[in-house]
Chain A
Amino acid sequence: MMIAILKRDVQAHWRSQQFAVLLVLSIVLFAMSAWVACEAYREQMAFYTRSVAEGAREPDTRFAYLYARPSPLAFVAAGSASCQHAGYGLTTKGGWTPKYRQARNFKMPSVPDLDWVFIISVIFSLYALLLSFRSISAEKAAGTLRLTLANPVGRSHLLLAKYLAVLLTIAPALLIGLLVNLIVISVLLPDGLTLALVPRLLLVVILGLLLISAFVFLGLLVSCLLTPSAVVLLVVLSVWIVSVIIIPNASGIVADTVAQVPTEFQTARQEPLHRVEVRDEMADLRRRVEKGEVTDEKAIRRMARDLFDQGLDSIRNIYTAYDDATRRRMALARQIARVSPNALFQYASESLAHTGFTRDQRFRRDVKAYSEIFDRYVLDKTGQLVPFVGWGIVFTAELEGQTIEIPSWTENYDGDLSDFPVFAETPFSLRRALREAILDLGGLACWNLILAALAFTAFARCDVR
């Protein structure tokens, strides 16, 4: 009996206008997504290859440019790639400046990346509700639910059949869309897809189905609780808006308010104060030299160097502290957003695709680890660590009738740099990806369990008269 209900419902869904529209949308959007992603990946790879080659051709002991390799799975979850740092310009003592891949067209309206995550999270979750909201309420209103339950079929079996019918309607549309996407990618980027990526792709598909399943359960739950289908739709769409639009977006604003990070101006205004401080101390040192209190040139050079180092350290600390604070705020925003199953799906997919915020954090850790190797190398070659920053000053003083000039910067080491340390990101294994995605995956599973339990309970207690 359950199979008969399942067949009947699947056929009804497949004949519906929603399914036809969903199928068309799925094919068009996934094809478009593949085209956009291939173009973007080509551009990013070209930038990365050129930049890394340049760095290897002209090694420099003052700074090293380190770039993050673009993920071949950016088409799954781009992770706001256009806003992320492409790399860092690393100087000695852990100093760094951000490097952007290319300037975005800031005049263009900002829209989310058209990737798998967006299509599944917005379009498929909506259609999961549109296909499920009438499953119980419409049959209850028409009186057919009572007739169906007069047959030898348990309520749980009936609800399970309804659930599977919706899932079996959406899954083919999703799989056809994904297939189109992968075909377009393999045609446009023949080397883009490798067998090693297949497990990650399969995991993202499973995650997508879990998200869709959660929304199907939600549709069924509300359909069991309320009778007029219009009210059911109103309620489920309100929840959809909250989950897809409000929570993921508002969490950024909430974190902004809660985290109390100083503004950019408050941060930036500290830098000139430190510069002035260094200049004052330099003037003081000059006076002491000119008064004859310090006469040894080596000592003067060491003292000037200490002043530069203190100044540069304090300036670097301002920006590092600000960067750390914004990262903490970002992490908080993501924690808040995790209330929404859509955000859980997005973050888990980003972990599997090796993109987004968590990937940026990993890259920063790799950069920090390389920074120590770089410092050791520079110290070994030049005997000193002089941070290279855009702010260059020269200490001048008259010593015994002669002018001595001490610049805050240093020149590139002119000896052999063939053994310059090569930067390599830590390989991102599937196991590590899973470890990072496991909590979000668990969250999605929990949503499914909770909504399923509620839906089955509500249907078991539902008055079908």
Chain B
Amino acid sequence: MWMAILKREMLEYLKSTKFLIGLAVVLTLVALSTLINAADYAQRHQDYLDAHHTRLPLDGFGYMRVAYRRPQILGVFVQGKDRELGDQIHACGDSVTTEPMGFMGYWSQNQRFRAGFAAIDFAFVVRVVMSLLVIFLAYDCVSQERVQGTLRLMMANALSRGHLLWGKFFGGLVVILGMLTLAVLVAALIIVLHPALTADASLLASLAILWGLSALYLTVFFGLSVMLSTWLNSPATSLLSLLQIWVVLVVIWPHAGIVLAQRIIPIPDTRERDQRKEDRVSDYTRQYRQAHAVPSDPNEKRLYERQLERRCDELRRQVDLDYSRQQTRQVQFAQRLALLSSPILYDRIAQRLARTDSAEFDRFLRSAERFWTEHHWGDGRVRGEEEPPEFVYQDQTLGAALGPTLPHWGILFLLGAACFAAAHTVFMKRDID
């Protein structure tokens, strides 16, 4: 009987107009966004290779060196902040820039052009479109049967309430996961067949993990829909309630968290930061000159000035690093505010998986700093070599990237389980009339 319920549920979903419309929308969006993002990635990757290998005087002059950041291939599916993290950072003397830069430095227009136009990628389709579709598919799975009286008839059979709910839950879930699988397969196929991209085992493994994450995320919305469907009598009421919850979860909560974090943990503007640098440097210079007399010997004087300049560079860099830490604190606070919002958790894990989050930039920066410290003297000259070896950024392994996100997977799982447990409890206790 349990299996009969499951099969019937699956057939009902598959035959419905809403499922067919939803499937067509999802597959079209996934195919188009993957195609466009893949072409964009291919161009950016080509630029990276050209910049890395051509060794034009673009690499700087004097003691300036440039470290290039490779775009992430998984950015095709989860663009995250990949574009905003810049293409390069500069190292000069004792300082390494702490902010991302485009190939055009201050002239960079790309980010500006993108203002007001968000990325559409696989993660976006799952987070916004598919979550909405799941609500449409499941909002009336119990309430409709209650209204029509078929629930009462079904319960007259030798079937426990628990089994009935499990049958409905798994029937719907199989259909939703089937649709998700199709979407992932379409995306994977485009990547495999794209002439400019190479799909290796690691990329396909990442896609499989992205499928698992998306499945977990959609299960939360499915659980929520089943819960409200068992709780509320009218399908229309449950649909409207679910839509309003969706608006709060997907549109308002992420927004509010960021706005609150920006106001509660403000970050000084560039002018204030420059002033802070100037104050520290002038204080230090005054103390230094008071403590050490300027030598009369020209060579010693040059060394004296050089030491002072190095210390000042270090102080300026300290201010930049403080600022960078403040930025990270602000982001972490916003993330804490949104810890129970499933769309934000989904985004966070997906961006970590794709290495397109801001943590990726911090890692790139640390890596470039280490390289620069190892290969240069304080005055910018390269240690023991005419030219330093090429800087090559090693990508984080999949395991290392996903490790810190395990608690978030746990929270997503708990949210889904809590919704289903609530649905189960309500269904067991409620009168079916």
**Chain A interfacial positions (CB closer than 8 Å to B):** 17-18, 21, 25, 29, 32, 35-36, 39, 43, 47, 50, 79-80, 82-85, 97-98, 100-103, 105-112, 114, 122-123, 126, 130, 134, 138, 229-231, 233-235, 237-238, 241, 245-246, 248-253, 256-257, 263-269, 271-273, 275-276, 319, 322-323, 326, 329-330, 333, 356
Contact = CB atoms under 8 A, between A and B. Distances in A.
B115 to A, nearest CB: 3
Given A109-B254, A231-B17, A322-B109, A257 B39 contact: yes
A21 B244 contact: yes
Contacts of A229: 236
Query: Which of A111, A257, A266, A275 has the most CB atoms of chain B within a 10 A radius of its CB?
Result: A111
Interface in B108-135: 108-120, 128-129, 132
A265 B136 contact: no
Contact of A29 (B84, B111, B252, B327): B252
Contact of A97 (B107, B255, B330, B331): B107
A98 B120 contact: no
Contacts of B255: 111-112, 114
A238 B25 contact: yes
Contact of A248 (B117, B128, B261): B117
A35 B256 CA distance: 12
Contacts of B29: 246
Contacts of A326: 109-110, 112-113
B74 to A, nearest CB: 17
| Chain B: number of interface residues, binned into ranges | 35 or more
Nearest to A54: B271
A206 B116 CA distance: 23
A114 B56 CA distance: 44
Given A248-B117, A265-B103, A330-B113, A101 B269 contact: yes
B18 A102 contact: no
B57 A276 contact: yes
Interface string B39-59: 110011001001100101110
Contact of B57 (A36, A250, A272): A272
Given A234-B21, A237-B136, A272-B56, 9 more contacts: A17-B241, A21-B244, A110-B118, A111-B258, A233-B239, A249-B117, A264-B87, A271-B58, A323-B109
Contacts of A330: 113
30 contacts: A36-B262, A39-B263, A83-B114, A98-B107, A105-B262, A105-B331, A108-B258, A109-B334, A111-B254, A230-B136, A230-B239, A234-B22, A235-B21, A241-B128, A250-B120, A252-B114, A253-B40, A263-B43, A264-B87, A264-B102, A264-B104, A264-B109, A265-B47, A268-B58, A269-B56, A275-B57, A276-B57, A323-B109, A326-B109, A326-B113
A52 B109 CA distance: 24
A231 B269 contact: no
B107 A319 contact: yes
Nearest to A360: B112
A275 B29 CA distance: 45
A18 B236 CA distance: 12
A100 to B, nearest CB: 7
A122 B246 CA distance: 13
A252 B25 CA distance: 20
B117 A47 contact: no
Interface string B324-340: 00011011001000000
A241 B131 CA distance: 12
Nearest to A228: B17
A400 to B, nearest CB: 30
Nearest to A80: B115
B397 interface: no
A276 B328 CA distance: 41
A130 B115 contact: no
Contacts of B105: 268
Contact of A47 (B25, B40, B140, B271): B271
Contacts of B119: 249, 253
A83 B29 CA distance: 28
A106 B358 contact: yes
Interface string B244-287: 10010001101110110111000101110000000000000000
Given A110-B118, A238-B25, A251-B117, A231 B100 contact: no
A398 to B, nearest CB: 24
Contacts of A230: 18, 136, 140, 235, 239
B47 A18 contact: no
A234 B334 CA distance: 33
Contacts of A356: 116
A135 to B, nearest CB: 13
Given A80-B116, A134-B236, A249-B120, A110 B84 contact: yes
B84 A264 contact: no
A334 B170 CA distance: 44
Interface in B25-72: 25, 29, 36, 39-40, 43-44, 47, 50-51, 54, 56-58
Nearest to B105: A268
B341 to A, nearest CB: 12
Given A36-B259, A130-B243, A257-B39, A266 B47 contact: yes
Contacts of A267: 103-104
B145 interface: no
A267 B29 CA distance: 32
A32 B262 CA distance: 13
A253 B269 CA distance: 31
B141 to A, nearest CB: 12
Contact of B331 (A101, A108, A265): A108
Contact of B58 (A101, A245, A272): A272
Contact of B263 (A36, A109, A257, A268): A36
B237 interface: yes
Contacts of B107: 97-98, 268, 319, 322-323
A109 B258 contact: yes
B122 to A, nearest CB: 14
A233 B119 CA distance: 26
A83 B115 contact: yes
